[in-house]
Amino acid sequence: MTLGTRPLTAAAALSLTLTTGLLGGCGPRETTQPSAPSSASSPATGGAGGRTFLIGMSQANKGEPWRQAMNDQIAAAAAGHPELSVQFADAAQDNAKQVAQVENFLQQGISLLIISPNEAAPLTDVVAKAYGKGIPVILLDRKVKGDKYTMWIGADNAKIGQEAGKYAADWCKRSARTPCRVIELRGLEGSSPAKERGDGFREGIKANPAVQIIASQNADWLREKAVSVSQAMLQASPNVDVVYAHNDPMAEAAFISAGSAHRDTGKMLFVGIDGLPTPDGGIHSVQAGRLGVTHVYPTGGKEAIDYAVQILEKKQTPPRAVVLPTVQVTKANADAVLKQYGGK
Ligand code: FRU
């Protein structure tokens, strides 16, 4: 699908605000390139006689709201550049499919690849192949192994995990829970944010030795899977104080499971990550009291297009890494953050 002239949807408008100037007053942090990439982009001719650039956007899975927001944001940003056309591919959480889709992009002669890899290791070779061919590669949100890519754009998942852990540690202390039992719903094992969010959380809870992670399971980022996984975890553990989920959809699923298991959800803490400003997003969930805390995790879609323009048209070497700012969202700031991110 070519999206050069696609109108801005409501979701796109909302998600657009995720990484614009509304990020708590501080912009993205940049890391410089160790060495210039061989960015031999190959502009094709087309459009109204001008040069156009075909960008392949390889999405890990479009079934999740946060990923749809990323695509919408890319489409909206690209719509401001008639010389760019973006082709989207949805790997539906299938590594082999995503590899094949990138191969297909290479055959089509894309000028630049944006990819949010489903899992790191299985996508590493095909990303390196694209990069080796001189096609600039922008990794978005999730990483691959090694260094064969042009740049990475995303938020600091270890830091988010750490802040989530600190919040949980404080909550446990405030609520006088000794021990304070945590169950963890993890993202897809081989995806970089799952490891970083898990490790960061473990750092954060060190602030309170009473906090114990009593069970940890993968629910692969998926709300549906998290329903059955959390049901089983709650059944196995009669006393759970905190649910730490690596994203909001899994946290919401655990909230439902806890209610069905007749747990007093008002006395538990549900921790999520994503903080979309949409009606069914995490900020509303904090306002409604289902989640005690979430974290705005910007998609970076707009930045990906900004840097694509810098690479393709201005022939500039981009930073090696761009770290997007995040915000912790609690009842105390949920209204303000929602407003700040353009939600209602
Ligand atoms: C969507 C998602 C988000 C999460 C991100 C991490 O696929 O699970 O909910 O924040 O991926 O890569």
- For residue 228, CA distances in Å to 232, 255, 269, 327 come to 6, 12, 19, 30
- 222: in domain: yes
Tokens found for residue 119: 């899992």
Range list of β-strands (E), the chain: 29-31, 44-45, 51-59, 84-90, 112-115, 137-140, 151-155, 180-186, 211-218, 242-245, 269-271, 294-296, 321-324, 327-329
The answer to whether the Cα torsion of 93, 95, 101, 102 is positive or negative is: positive
Look up residue 223 and give its amino acid: R
- 125: in domain: yes
For 91-135, how does the pLDDT look when each residue is reduced to its tens digit (9 = 90+)? 999 999 999 999 999 999 999 999 999 999 999 999 999 999 999
Q: Is 200 found in the same domain as 147?
A: no
- 110: in domain: yes
Q: Is 80 found in the same domain as 147?
A: yes
For 222-281, how does the pLDDT look when each residue is reduced to its tens digit (9 = 90+)? 999 999 999 999 999 999 999 999 999 999 999 999 999 999 999 999 999 999 999 999
Does 45 score more than 60 pLDDT? no
Q: Looking at the 3D structure of the chain, how many domains does it have?
A: 2
- 85: in domain: yes
What is residue 27's predicted lDDT score, i.e. its pLDDT? 61
Q: 176 C-alpha vs ligand 1 centroid, how far in Å?
A: 32
Ligand 1 pocket, CB under 6 A: 60-61, 64, 66-67, 141-142, 187, 191, 193, 221, 247, 273-274, 297
Confidence of residue 30 (pLDDT cuts 50, 70, 90): confident
Tokens found for residue 197: 């969010």
- In CATH, what number is assigned to the domain containing residue 32? 3.40.50.2300
Q: Is 312 found in the same domain as 281?
A: no
Q: Which atom of ligand 1 is nearest to the CA of 274?
A: 10
- 339: in domain: no
Question: CA 317 to CA 150: how far, in whole Å?
Answer: 9
Residues sharing a CB contact under 8 Å with residue 1, sequence separation 6 or more, in sequence order: 87, 88
Does 16 score more than 90 pLDDT? no
> Which one-letter DSSP state was computed for residue 245?
E
Among 258, 277, 297, the domain boundary falls at 297
Look up residue 23 and give its amino acid: L
Q: Is 177 found in the same domain as 132?
A: no
Q: Is 250 found in the same domain as 260?
A: yes
Q: Which atom of ligand 1 is nearest to the CA of 141?
A: 12
Q: Is 77 found in the same domain as 42?
A: yes
Q: Is 318 found in the same domain as 288?
A: no
Q: 247 C-alpha vs ligand 1 centroid, how far in Å?
A: 7
Q: For ligand 1, pick from 142, 221, 296 the residue to mutate: most ligand atoms within 8 Å of CB.
A: 221
- 58: in domain: yes
Q: Is 177 found in the same domain as 95?
A: no
What is residue 13's predicted lDDT score, i.e. its pLDDT? 32
Look up residue 118 and give its amino acid: N
Q: 180 C-alpha vs ligand 1 centroid, how far in Å?
A: 27
Q: Which atom of ligand 1 is nearest to the CA of 65?
A: 1
Q: Is 129 found in the same domain as 191?
A: no
Q: For ligand 1, pick from 115, 244, 247 the residue to mutate: most ligand atoms within 8 Å of CB.
A: 247
Q: Is 292 found in the same domain as 201?
A: yes
CA 333, chain centre distance (Å): 21
Q: Is 227 found in the same domain as 93?
A: no
- 2: in domain: no
Q: Is 311 found in the same domain as 191?
A: no
Q: From 298, 264, 267, select the one nearest 282 (Cα to Cα).
A: 298
Q: What's this model's pTM, rounded to 2 decimal places?
A: 0.88
Cα dihedral 267→273→277→278 (10° resolution): -80
Q: From 221, 229, 294, select the one nearest 258 (Cα to Cα).
A: 229
Question: CA 235 to CA 325: how far, in whole Å?
Answer: 37
Tokens found for residue 247: 């994203």
Confidence of residue 41 (pLDDT cuts 50, 70, 90): very low
- 333: in domain: no
Report DSSP letters for 322-340, one per residue. Answer: EEEP-EEE-TTTHHHHHHH
Range list of β-strands (E), 48-127: 51-59, 84-90, 112-115
Does 12 score more than 60 pLDDT? no
Question: CA 301 to CA 258: how far, in whole Å?
Answer: 34
Question: CA 212 to CA 202: how far, in whole Å?
Answer: 10
| Domain ranges, residue 213 | 157-297
Question: CA 159 to CA 330: how far, in whole Å?
Answer: 17
The predicted model gives 10-27 an average pLDDT of 35
